[in-house]
Structure 1
Amino acid sequence: MPAPAPRELADLPYARHLEPWHGALRRDGDHDSVRADGHTFADTDAGSARFTESAFSSVTFTGCRMRRARFNDVWMHTVRWVGTELAESDWLDVEVIASALAGVEAFGAELRRVAFHNCKFDSVNLRTGTLRDVAFVDCLLRDVDFAGATLHDVTFPGSTLDGVRFGKARMRSVDLRGAVALGIADGADALRGATISGGQLLELAPVFAQTLGVTVRDD
């Protein structure tokens, strides 16, 4: 089943209620029905901040500390997260489009009903996180760490996995068949509970053999 197309800002049910962003990003801040467009937030402590029915477009977060931040019914387009801490953050009903995350610490984060479209992940730490009903659509995941994470109803249609780590992850109803490349650096044994295609099985055969300690020789 094809993934639904990403929504435009005007399609959001709360679009007409959005107010332009004013003020600073702050710790424990409560941001409801705001639209941030073209803003840059750098070296800011916004731990435990809350964002509800809000939209971000062309926004950059650099070196921000957003531990335990909460995003509820939030839309993001062309957002860049660079060297930002999102550990133990909570994401519910979030849509992220054409965005990039690089050097992000998001261990222990909880993502529920989240869709990433055309996003790039580079060296993102999602260790021990929980992902439920999450879709990575046409994304690039390079050096992403899911070690110890719980993945339930997660899909990767059109996505490329490069050097992804799944060590000790727990999977249920994870569908990898739509991924265009499965570059798994660690944790092939954690794919129990995932579904792959026959072609992907052949692609992963060397990884499975190494995990099982099997030596393959043709001479």
Structure 2
Amino acid sequence: MAGLDRVAGAISLDAMSRALVDLPYARRLAPFDGVLESDEEYDNVHVAGREFDEPDCRGSRFLESALTEVSIMRGSLRFTRLSDVWLRGVRMVGTNLGQSDWQDAELIDSAWSGVEIVSAGLRRVRFEGCKFESVNFRNCTLREVEFVDCVLRDVDFAEAALRQVSFPGSTLLRLAVDRARLQNVDLRGARTIDIASGLDALRGATINYGQLMDLAPAFAQAAGIIVSDD
């Protein structure tokens, strides 16, 4: 948890992030002080400064809502649908987001650790200044998704489909992309690219020459090439 708490100070946000007052539905937001339940509809709510321990809100729907400085520990948000949502300072630990659906969402200065988001769908989602540690995106579909100034460590994109995904200013450490399907994925803006497994799945990605040199040893190893000056 100490590492998650340091995220806010460690990663700076650029001018593109929106404030709560900038949201088109900001005036309609109503404070939410209840509990998160399954199969409920949360419309125009603002969840602020709350800590949820093992919440079960499977199958719920969040529409034109905001979450700020919220902590979700070991929760279940499977099959949830989040549309036009804005999240800032949201911490998730050991939470299951499997088969959730995200559309037109913005997540800022947030941290996920040990999160399962298997087989989820994300479209027009922007992550900014976020930290992901041991997050499982296996078999997800990501379309028009941005990871801006983020840190992704031990993140698993195996068998995921990524289309029009970019990582400007982000640090990618020990990324797994085994059998992933990439189309128009732009890695050129990433600060660091460290692929743990699945190098052959980078077809459909664009990198720059400097990144190619950094990845050359891993490409050689994957191809069974021995590089030696002796």
| 1:59 corresponding residue in structure 2 | 70
In the alignment, structure 1 residue 187 sits paired with structure 2 residue 198: yes
| 1:100 corresponding residue in structure 2 | 111
Deviation for aligned residue 1:116:
0.4
Matches of residues 36-75 of structure 1 in structure 2 within 5 Å? Answer: 36-75=47-86
For residues 94-146 of structure 1, what are the alpha-carbon distances to aligned partners after superposition, in whole Å with 9 as ceiling and x for unaligned?
00000000000001011000000000000000000000000000000000000
Deviation for aligned residue 1:22:
3.2
Deviation for aligned residue 1:4:
7.2
CA distance in 2, matches of 1:161, 1:42: 29
Matches of residues 1-219 of structure 1 in structure 2 within 5 Å? Answer: 5-219=16-230
After TM superposition, the runs of 4+ consecutive aligned structure 1 residues lying more than 2 A away are: none
CA distance in 1, matches of 2:105, 2:175: 23
CA distance in 1, matches of 2:39, 2:115: 20
CA distance in 2, matches of 1:171, 1:57: 32
Distance 1:72 1:4, change over 3 A: farther
Which residue type is aligned with residue 67 of structure 1?
A: R
CA distance in 2, matches of 1:82, 1:145: 16
**SS of structure 2 residue aligned to 1:182:** strand
Which residue type is aligned with residue 61 of structure 1?
A: I
**SS of structure 2 residue aligned to 1:56:** strand
Structure 1's unaligned 5+ residue stretches are none
CA distance in 1, matches of 2:51, 2:63: 19
Deviation for aligned residue 1:72:
0.3
Deviation for aligned residue 1:42:
0.9
CA distance in 2, matches of 1:127, 1:13: 33
**SS of structure 1 residue aligned to 2:214:** helix
CA distance in 2, matches of 1:156, 1:124: 16
Distance 1:135 1:86, change over 3 A: same
% identical aligned pairs? 53
Which residue type is aligned with residue 183 of structure 1?
A: D
Deviation for aligned residue 1:213:
1.4
Normalising by structure 2, we get a TM-score of 0.93
| 2:8 corresponding residue in structure 1 | none
- Size of the alignment, in residue pairs? 217
CA distance in 1, matches of 2:60, 2:51: 17
**SS of structure 2 residue aligned to 1:205:** helix
